[in-house]
Amino acid sequence: MDSDGTIHLLGRGSVVINTGGEKVFPEEVEEVLKLHPAVRDAVCVGVPDERFGEAICALVEPADGATVDPDDVIEHVRARLARYKAPKIVHAVPTIGRSPAGKVDYKGLRDLAVARSKT
């Protein structure tokens, strides 16, 4: 709580992606991404976007021996969720790097996604 009485909520709500005025909960998109046969694990983060405020970026860990085709992964999500929930960007990563408890470092992965999206 700030000195003026403003309350800031932290935690799961802080990873919500606001894209084009729509709120997207990353966990929903991540679960659909993990249904794709080429994806072992996935995390979605928001990256800055001039037009939409934030664009959904998926960081995906490929399944053993699989190659991730970003366009195919995006279409996979579009076929199962509203189009605005589909990632605009997909980056394959060697590992999502979950903690032993299964937690994700959303801030660290967002920083990685922002850096990769600029190149």
Q: 36-88: per-residue pLDDT in tens?
A: 999 999 999 999 999 999 999 999 999 999 999 999 999 999 999 999 999 99
Residue 4 covered by a domain:
no
In a domain, 67, yes or no: yes
Domain membership flag for residue 27 = yes
Q: Tell me the three state secondary structure of residue 115.
A: helix
Q: What is the pLDDT of residue 118?
A: 78
pLDDT band at 3 (very low <50, low <70, confident <90, very high): confident
CB count, 10 Å around CB of 9? 7
- Total of domains in the chain: 1
Question: Which of 77, 76, 65, 109 is CA-nearest to residue 91?
Answer: 109
Tell me what pLDDT residue 25 has: 94
The tens digit of pLDDT for each residue in 23-38 reads 999 999 999 999 999 9
13 pLDDT higher than 60: no
CA distance 76 to 36: 7
* pTM to 2 decimal places: 0.86
Q: What is the pLDDT of residue 21?
A: 93
The residue assigned the tokens 């928001």 is 46
Beta strands in the chain (DSSP E): 17-19, 22-24, 39-49, 53-62, 89-92
**CB-CB contact of 25 with 53 (8 Å):** no
Please indicate, yes or no, if residue 59 is contained in any of the structural domains. yes
- Work out the average pLDDT over 16-24: 94
The span from the CA of 62 to the CA of 83, in Å, is 23
C-beta of residue 84 within 8 angstroms of C-beta of residue 50: no
Q: What is the CATH number of the domain that holds 58?
A: 3.30.300.30
User: Considering the domain boundaries, does residue 39 fall inside one?
Assistant: yes
Structural domain boundaries enclosing 64: 12-118
Does 31 fall in a domain?
A: yes
In a domain, 1, yes or no: no
